Amino acid sequence: MGENKRRMLAGDWYVADDPELSADTERRIALCAAYNAPGATTPAERAGILEQLLGAVGEGVRIRPPFHCDFGYHIRIGAGTFVNFGAVFLDAAPVTIGADVQIGPYVQLLTPQHELDTERRRAGWEKGEPVSIGDNVWLGGGVIVCPGVTIGANTVVGAGAVVTRDLPAGVLAVGNPARVIRTLDGDDDRAVAVAGER
């Protein structure tokens, strides 16, 4: 394993313009193209592609194409999770999604960080910080989860929210940046109205 890939997997700063990482990217491009091709694959074939592309896929996971990621092998998705159209999971670091999670259209889970120092950023230095989504979370359409964020189980994040900090379990969070507006104790029509379509 080359130095840049080793550093990436360790969560250290690395340079992405690297032949080994480029080969991993080419693998992802081919698998995502096959997965996203309209009418070219059956549901069983798509499931097989996901098993090749991702680090782990639980039983009954459904991801509507198009789906995009950086590498794929850093992504683990628990059983029964549903991911709607247009998801972007940038997995320079681990992306862990629990069981029975509902992910709305055009949700972005982002692990890459770039240097604030202009010279190092120009030189291509970056690193990834893990993103973790607990069981039974609902991310409304267009939610963006930033690097290093953990969202606790049973939490609902309203459509269009930008999650820049960890969210505890069992809350409703909305806005940019996302803020907790209340706790959730079971079914609640107001939570559904704020979160929008799944």
Among the listed residues 114, 120, 179, 198, the single catalytic one is: 114
What is the phi/psi pair of residue 137, to 5°?
-80, 150
Write the CB contacts of 63 (distance below 8 Å, at least 6 apart in sequence): 35, 46, 50, 77, 82, 83, 87
Cite the DSSP H helix spans in 40-124: 43-53, 118-122
Report CA Rg, the chain: 17
Contact at 8 Å (CB) between 78 and 60?
A: no
Tokens read off for 172: 């409703």
Contact at 8 Å (CB) between 157 and 151?
A: yes
CA distances, 1 to each of 15, 56, 165, 198 (Å): 14, 21, 33, 40
Identify which of 3, 15, 1, 6 has the alpha carbon closest to the alpha carbon of residue 112: 15
Q: Is 114 marked active-site?
A: yes
Q: How is residue 150 annotated by DSSP?
A: E
Contact at 8 Å (CB) between 150 and 166?
A: yes
Residues assigned a catalytic role: 114
